[in-house]
Amino acid sequence: MTPHRDAQKRYCSRAIVSAIILGGILILAGFPHLGKGLIAGALFSILNFVLMAESLSSRLGKSRGRASLISFFWILPRYALLAVPLVLSLKFHLFHPAAAALGLFAVQLAILAEQVVCALTSSTGGSL
């Protein structure tokens, strides 16, 4: 498996497991709209991350102008994808919009958490 696939699998797995655990706790605590919103946001965050990783190969080896144009056209479907849980929460009231918005940052939070843990556990005092 290539290094970016390993990282993608590691971060996405951590994000969805964390979201399911926290969402399950919220659902069991009597806040089902918050739990479902967190899980839904995390799912769309993972889809966005996978789409971003897949689009990376189409930009490599291209001129700066062409790569910028490709990036612009890839960002449009990614933003549309990120809007889906927010629209569902606002229009159909399926889950809480704030929880869905927080869930959209699940992969980024998984990456940040790994970096913080590595920095704290590093015996050499590594930097972020």
For residue 24, is pLDDT > 90? yes
In a domain, 126, yes or no: no
pLDDT class for 36, splitting at 50, 70, 90?
very high
Count of domains forming the chain: 1
Contacts 24+ apart (CB under 8 A), 108-111: 108/45, 109/15, 109/18, 110/11, 110/12, 110/14, 110/15, 110/18, 111/11
In a domain, 39, yes or no: yes
In a domain, 128, yes or no: no
pLDDT tens, position by position, 44-94 = 999 999 999 888 777 777 888 888 888 888 899 999 999 999 999 999 999
In a domain, 77, yes or no: yes
In a domain, 127, yes or no: no
In a domain, 25, yes or no: yes
Look at residue 96 in the predicted model and tell me its pLDDT.
96
128/120 Cα distance (integer angstroms) = 9
- Helices (DSSP H) in the chain: which residue ranges? 3-28, 32-59, 64-91, 97-103, 106-121
In a domain, 73, yes or no: yes
Domain that holds residue 115: 3-121
In a domain, 29, yes or no: yes
